[in-house]
Structure 1
Amino acid sequence: MLKHNLGYPRIGIKRELKKACEAYWSQKIDLNALFEVGRKIRKENWIMQEIANLDLIPCNDFSFYDHVLDMSFLLGNIPESYLSIKTIENNIDLYFAMARGFQKDGWDIKAMEMTKWFNTNYHYIVPEFYKNQKFYIFSKKIFDELEESKNLFKSVKKIKPVLIGPISYLFLGKEKKEKDKSFHRMDLIENLVPVYIKIINDLKNKGVKWIQLDEPILVLDMSEKEKEAFQYAYKKISQFCSEINILLTSYFDGISENLYLLKDIFIKALHIDLVEDSEQLEKILFFFKESKIILSLGIIDGRNIWKNNYTHSINKIKKTIKYIGENRVMIAPNCSLLHIPINIEYENFIHKDIKNRMSFAKQKIYELNDLECIIKGDKNILLNNFSFFEKNKNSSIFHDKKIKERVKKIKDKDIQRKNPFSIRQRIQKEKFNLPLFPTTTIGSFPQTKEIRSLRNKFRKNELNKEEYDKKIQHYIINVIKKQEEIDLDVLVHGEFERTDMVEYFSDKLKGILSTNNGWVQSYGSRCVKPPIIYGDVNRIGNMTIDWICFAQSKTKKLMKGMLTGPVTILQWSFVRDDQPIYYTAYQIAWAIREEVLSLEKLGIKIIQIDEPALREGLPLKKKNWNFYFDWAIKSFRISSSGVKDETQIHTHMCYSEFNDILKHISHLDADVITMETSRSKMELLKAFSVFSYPNEIGPGVYDIHSPRIPSVEEIFDLIKKASKTLPIKNIWVNPDCGLKTRKWEEVLKSLKNMTEAAKLARIKLSN
């Protein structure tokens, strides 16, 4: 029974990669220093997995920005606009230009589109495809890293290079610059597969025995075109790469519906996700019983931080061994460990009973060893694990009967606004008297080193609360002045007291905790610390009221109250696994509702409840959508529906595909929804127009994930484009996301251009 891993976190335990990339971008370190940090992280990861006694260790799971972008680079899929930049002297700068945009030396090229990786909070750079496109090996990264591992281990027998499979790679991209509607990116499979075959055989010639091809598309409702492309690709790979062991992986759900696609494909091993879909095992065992294929069982949860219940895992392993024999079994996490923090040993301030339930990436690798030992006869490990789970079943740390009872008593009136939007809109327009194309921001403003240092000193008790509050108030007053000078219509307080839009609320709610070092990559150098929902959730006091009300007292303009929605708090946290997820969602929703009503009572007239994670929580299979939307929409409406008609509820969503869920988004019944549309050049608005979305919309008019500053003309053109598909009275003007990761000089210039563009639109488009 082989033990292996699909991928390991690449940011470094102290976020060394983030710091190195940002230092390189700001020209504080050179290329050699950046590459040295990469080498150090890769070495540490490989050694740790070697010590943990893995039989196969992943390679090429490291990335300086994004593994999908790495794949585009490997395949020479680089848009001409970036290749044309004459002042770029090396591949890494070209790579970063694709990810971040390039505005230098007279060049002004936008970053490539970015969206969510399946149903996770990880963002990837979307590949671009055009008709008759050719591919070739451009980047040598995978081969260079293989040599690194060879030098470390003196052999590559244990090294398993990781690649995104050809069908998933095409699926993750978009067709560009193509008027011929008959062109589909899957048409490129015949051009793409020969390059994959060459890469695989080049790796084999360098001594590689195993290669991992990730095809998460297998868990989706695949189209006939995608199915045909899959069978074509893997029959070719089977034919021309027969001397290397191919491990085909799927994750994030089950593959039962697409299992027949593997019938005539000759691969050495198939990896299945038994965390997200354990019921698929029996069907897969029956399907492969007479074959020689090895089954890799994904039984360790690579997306959550709770200890493995060995009894459940052992039952799956034993069942598989009974059907097909121990020699045809591998065990692994269900997916890459990219999505969880690195090491629980660095958390020193978590209650021991809670910490003992937790397992980060390093610990999960060692859980594979425990499972192997149990299979070999060590009953003590299994007994201790069983006793641990039994002990915590009814602990008061995790369970509160009063909170559970409140969720059971939610009534229909708790999820309905008093009047429909058409009536609310008329009341709000009379009350607010905002101009056409009202301007606002999504919430946060730049978080400088000084602000981060201030919060850090407060956490360490180097500042008392009075001193801390005065300094935060100073920042709020300053940002209000800046917004008034820019002439924004609806202001925000800047969120200087908040580290993260979810983590901040975790510190204010019972049943949720924050870690000190539980960093996870969100995109590029952006890392987040997802909170941990370990018990029943309740509001224990004011969360935002003091700061919002102080901000409103310093301006005559409207000040938005800023809250994170229940679904996003849920999705961007590590959620308890001992009760249905919707119970937890309703508990969070009620806590947010209490805060919303308190803000309204104190005179805050516009309240934003952000739900950027609504789309990413969507089950990957459409058959499961209705159940998800039932509880997700109910959760949002619990939090938002208690207010009066004159109180305007905003929500925000970003970097997801919304075209197929607009009906459900409309059921949120938010008065205003803001979302990302700038990177996709307002493509999303076509869907809003076709659907005739009834409420107000703020399509993001500039990309905050890139340092480039959009011009007035560029923003005006986007507003004009929006006005052709949406009613003018319903359009807001705003950035596509929060501004905390940007620099002040970028933000002020961009927002000034944005307000000027809105004023221009009022003159030119008002008719």
Structure 2
Amino acid sequence: MKLVPTSSLGFPRIGPNRELKFALEKYWKGTISQHDLLQVARSVEDAAWALQVGLTKITVGDQYLYDFVLMMTESLGMVPKRFAHLPPGIDRLFAMARGVDGAPALSMKKWITSNYHYMVPEYDETSQIHADFSRFLEDCRRGVATLGADCATPVLLGPVSFAYLTKISAPGVSRSTLVDLLLPVYEALIQELVGLGVKEIQIHEPCLVFNDPSINPLLDAAYPKILAPDVTINMVSYMDDVGDTNYQWLMSAANGIHVVSLDFTRGDTLALVQKYGATKTIGCGLVDARNVWKFDPATALPVLKCLVDKGVIFRIQPSSTLQFLPWTVEREDKLIAESHPALQVLAFAKEKLQEVARLAKVAGCLLDGEDSEHLLSDHESAWKSFVESRQTSQSSSVRDRLQAVQPSDFRRSTDYLERRKQQLKGLPALPTTTIGSFPQTSAIRRVRAAWKKGLLNDAEYQAAMDQQIAYCIGVQETLGLDILVHGEPERTDMVEFFGEQLEGILFTQHGWVQSFGSRCVRPPVFWNDISRPFPMTTREFKVAQSLTEKPVKGMLTGPITILNWSFPRIDISGKDQAFQIALCIRDEIRDLEEAGCIVVQVDEPALREGMPFRTAERDEYLNWAVDAFRLSTAGAKSETQIHTHMCYCEFQDCMHAIDRMDTDVNSIENARSDNATLKAFKSIGYTKGFGPGLYDIHSPVVPSRDEIEAKLRSFLTVLDLDQTVVNPDCGLKTRGWPETIAALRNMVEATAVVRNELSTCLPCSM
């Protein structure tokens, strides 16, 4: 059997027990040293390397402390002027990520179509390139010593993608200018890597998936200029196909690239290979690095047969870095003890390595003309058994209800202008609120842990949570907020909380995935049809509302966010899964209304991140995604005010879709941004309620009252007074109580000052 090479594109960075997360948080609190932090990072990297031994190529230099774009920013020394006074190094990197006094953090955005976040590089009028890649080179040197020069493969974020992602505000500087400034640095860095003895370097250019003609001149300027003649260059792109133009560029002999790694699990990469052929080695990303299912032989085998038939030279690898997956299924004791039907077809990062090895053997058989069925039989039987077990547990009621949905189910009973007259009468202009969550304290976590261990019964646990709710309401009453929240002490995560209560969704014990920095999430796994067996939030709402005369928001997560922040099924469409969730949320809103709720927030921060790059696919996605949201909310009474919340994404290419969601109030992340987003919404005629974030909740810095006043005044130069709602950027669960109270006090006081300036304390109908 012919040996087919294998490669990794990266492994989870947080460790099997979230070691890096906890080390980061200890370092930020000052309880461990920088040396201790780096030791933890290296131990996690060592564990990842040990699991990958056996692959032909293993990545090195990619154990980042926050995110890989930020690491490149710091290594280049390309800091905006507000951080220029700080000495280079890890502490400056964290300052750019989290902010320091007088210096707001870099903007944060979602990474291509994922729930991973990256810090947006900035190039202003004072920025310069002062490169220092000594830590990166030391990590690569350590990788070479551990894995060998033939195997260890350094990873670089390519200059074109870095420039493409950078926010440029310096006069006369364009992306092209920035690329020109970066080229000498990359050229020297690649030469240093060659000096370590490595035989291959991965250059990740994820911008290749974007359908943007301005990318090609930048690529031509960079390649092969920065490349060395005596090292193999593997250019990597992922999360979609690269399109016709970029594929042809990749296959050009003129660019100096030897290996082209592509995602065969999304988009239509195979069609590009069939259409244009492949003149270079293809890194066949056939093992899905974005979902937790084992490969389906019925899908994988035709791809391999096509590559073999066309004579393509290829290697087998995951579709992207495995950082988007949990560490291993082996630690899921509960699922194993239950013999859950899905367990036989689940594969996390460690298991994906086994999937790579299995497909490499299948490919070897195909190349030698040998039978490969014996290598696939257990996969086929596992999938068959899983599908059969799912069918026996499915109920036709979910699908019957979806088939009965009518066009009227997607429309509110009255239009916005008529509804707003009936909603939340008596509130002042510029009503103040928060996005939903309050600090998840160590006391809350201890109570939750005791309850899960059986040390507290349900009644005792609920009583403890009710005390936390009472405290949250008391704080908000004292501060003078206008629309209150119950604080969500019972919720570990905005998706996990709902997923645990819905049928057809399973949860892991240790399935943690990094979202950004030390923030980790545990995505649900959709394995069956989804339904809601009982109300999920009404008990806590009733407790909170009983403690105040002010309106308390019902807090829900929208269907698209639950879908996009989960590992979905692969046998039915995303639309069908979103609509199933939408019906559950629709029923929950009805129950909240019956409990006396008159304002409900249905968060959809993930609406934009699931949007495809190609126009036709994008329009189709936005149509059904917005329909799913409307199916969730359209059953609400006219007097019920529906809010939503969106954060950390580009809104410009989906604003009309957001308008079509027909919410009464939309709050967005805006504290790290200027007013460009507000102006863009205004330009499309957006007239509904709007709550742009006044301060950055991801920074430990407490904004002053003067800063918030200035920000609010700037909002009112764009927004109408009667459409503006005052709120922070996002939920406050990651902050401590002292800074939360201080920041909200400043927000409420700043709002009062602006109200008085405008001489408008009259009630509005917002």
Superposition TM-score tier, normalisation by shorter sequence = over 0.9
Q: How does 1:482-501 map to 2 (within 5 A)?
A: 482-501=475-494
Distance in 2, Cα, partners of 1:204 & 1:285 = 34
One-letter amino acid of the counterpart of residue 307, structure 1: K
Distance in 2, Cα, partners of 1:46 & 1:398 = 40
One-letter amino acid of the counterpart of residue 357, structure 2: N
Deviation at 1:140, TM superposition (A): 1.6
One-letter amino acid of the counterpart of residue 90, structure 2: I
Matched position secondary structure for 1:623: helix
Moved more, 371-380 or 566-575: 371-380
Residues 317-360 of structure 1, C-alpha deviations (whole Å, 9 max, x = no match): 232122125xx211111111111111000111124311112100
Distance in 2, Cα, partners of 1:112 & 1:606 = 33
Residue 588, structure 1, aligned to residue 581, structure 2: yes
Alignment partner for residue 735 of structure 1, among 684, 703, 728? 728
Instruction: Tell me, yes or no, if the aligned pair for 1:652 and 1:674 is still in contact at 8 Å.
Output: yes
Residue 424, structure 1, aligned to residue 419, structure 2: yes
**What is the aligned partner in structure 1 of residue 34 from structure 2?**
31
Distance in 2, Cα, partners of 1:408 & 1:168 = 44
Question: What TM-score do the two structures reach when normalised by structure 1?
Answer: 0.95
Residues 468-488 of structure 1, C-alpha deviations (whole Å, 9 max, x = no match): 111111111111111111110
Moved more, 314-323 or 485-494: 314-323
Instruction: Tell me, yes or no, if the aligned pair for 1:118 and 1:620 is still in contact at 8 Å.
Output: no
Alignment partner for residue 268 of structure 1, among 251, 258, 264? 258
One-letter amino acid of the counterpart of residue 349, structure 1: K
Instruction: Tell me, yes or no, if the aligned pair for 1:256 and 1:284 is still in contact at 8 Å.
Output: no
**What is the aligned partner in structure 1 of residue 94 from structure 2?**
96
**What is the aligned partner in structure 2 of residue 388 from structure 1?**
382
Deviation at 1:579, TM superposition (A): 0.6
Across the aligned residues of Structure 1 and Structure 2, the Cα RMSD in angstroms comes to 1.6
Q: How does 1:553-564 map to 2 (within 5 A)?
A: 553-564=546-557
Distance in 2, Cα, partners of 1:713 & 1:681 = 17
Instruction: Tell me, yes or no, if the aligned pair for 2:224 and 2:257 is still in contact at 8 Å.
Output: no
**What is the aligned partner in structure 2 of residue 347 from structure 1?**
332
Moved more, 75-84 or 491-500: 75-84
Distance in 2, Cα, partners of 1:644 & 1:311 = 47
**What is the aligned partner in structure 1 of residue 224 from structure 2?**
235
Instruction: Tell me, yes or no, if the aligned pair for 1:585 and 1:635 is still in contact at 8 Å.
Output: yes
Distance in 1, Cα, partners of 2:180 & 2:393 = 54
**What is the aligned partner in structure 1 of residue 369 from structure 2?**
none
One-letter amino acid of the counterpart of residue 34, structure 1: L
CA distance change for structure 1 residues 406 and 723 in 2, over 3 Å: closer, same or farther? Answer: same
Q: How does 1:436-447 map to 2 (within 5 A)?
A: 436-447=429-440
Distance in 2, Cα, partners of 1:422 & 1:96 = 45
**What is the aligned partner in structure 2 of residue 135 from structure 1?**
129
Deviation at 1:94, TM superposition (A): 1.1
**What is the aligned partner in structure 1 of residue 315 from structure 2?**
330
Instruction: Tell me, yes or no, if the aligned pair for 2:159 and 2:222 is still in contact at 8 Å.
Output: yes
Deviation at 1:285, TM superposition (A): 4.7
**What is the aligned partner in structure 1 of residue 682 from structure 2?**
689
CA distance change for structure 1 residues 91 and 183 in 2, over 3 Å: closer, same or farther? Answer: closer
Distance in 1, Cα, partners of 2:435 & 2:701 = 18
Count of residue correspondences: 744
Matched position secondary structure for 1:559: coil
Instruction: Tell me, yes or no, if the aligned pair for 2:542 and 2:595 is still in contact at 8 Å.
Output: yes
Instruction: Tell me, yes or no, if the aligned pair for 1:186 and 1:226 is still in contact at 8 Å.
Output: no
Residue 600, structure 1, aligned to residue 593, structure 2: yes
Any gaps of 5 or more consecutive residues in structure 2? 366-371, 761-766
Residue 373, structure 1, aligned to residue 384, structure 2: no
Instruction: Tell me, yes or no, if the aligned pair for 1:548 and 1:559 is still in contact at 8 Å.
Output: yes
Deviation at 1:68, TM superposition (A): 0.5
Instruction: Tell me, yes or no, if the aligned pair for 2:201 and 2:232 is still in contact at 8 Å.
Output: yes
One-letter amino acid of the counterpart of residue 220, structure 2: Q
Instruction: Tell me, yes or no, if the aligned pair for 1:397 and 1:535 is still in contact at 8 Å.
Output: no
Residue 10, structure 1, aligned to residue 13, structure 2: yes
**What is the aligned partner in structure 1 of residue 51 from structure 2?**
48
Matched position secondary structure for 2:133: coil
Matched position secondary structure for 2:428: coil
Alignment partner for residue 413 of structure 1, among 401, 408, 422? 408
One-letter amino acid of the counterpart of residue 479, structure 1: C
Question: What TM-score do the two structures reach when normalised by structure 2?
Answer: 0.95
Any gaps of 5 or more consecutive residues in structure 1? none
Matched position secondary structure for 2:462: helix
Distance in 2, Cα, partners of 1:674 & 1:505 = 21
Residues 652-675 of structure 1, C-alpha deviations (whole Å, 9 max, x = no match): 000001122111100000000001
Q: How does 1:157-172 map to 2 (within 5 A)?
A: 157-172=150-165
Residues 654-713 of structure 1, C-alpha deviations (whole Å, 9 max, x = no match): 000112211110000000000100011333112122222120000000000010000111
Distance in 2, Cα, partners of 1:265 & 1:149 = 28
CA distance change for structure 1 residues 423 and 332 in 2, over 3 Å: closer, same or farther? Answer: same
Residue 196, structure 1, aligned to residue 186, structure 2: yes
Distance in 2, Cα, partners of 1:750 & 1:398 = 49
Alignment partner for residue 296 of structure 2, among 289, 294, 309? 309
Matched position secondary structure for 2:667: strand
CA distance change for structure 1 residues 593 and 361 in 2, over 3 Å: closer, same or farther? Answer: same
**What is the aligned partner in structure 2 of residue 215 from structure 1?**
205
Distance in 2, Cα, partners of 1:722 & 1:131 = 25
Deviation at 1:141, TM superposition (A): 2.3
Residues 192-230 of structure 1, C-alpha deviations (whole Å, 9 max, x = no match): 11211111111011101111111111111113x322111
One-letter amino acid of the counterpart of residue 179, structure 2: I
Instruction: Tell me, yes or no, if the aligned pair for 1:76 and 1:139 is still in contact at 8 Å.
Output: no
Residues 475-526 of structure 1, C-alpha deviations (whole Å, 9 max, x = no match): 1111111111111001000100011000000111000122110000011000
Matched position secondary structure for 1:678: coil
Moved more, 304-313 or 539-548: 304-313
Moved more, 194-203 or 489-498: 194-203
One-letter amino acid of the counterpart of residue 159, structure 1: A
Moved more, 507-516 or 386-395: 386-395
**What is the aligned partner in structure 1 of residue 138 from structure 2?**
144
Residues 373-418 of structure 1, C-alpha deviations (whole Å, 9 max, x = no match): 2234453221221222223334336633221121121111111001
One-letter amino acid of the counterpart of residue 272, structure 2: K
Instruction: Tell me, yes or no, if the aligned pair for 2:80 and 2:126 is still in contact at 8 Å.
Output: no
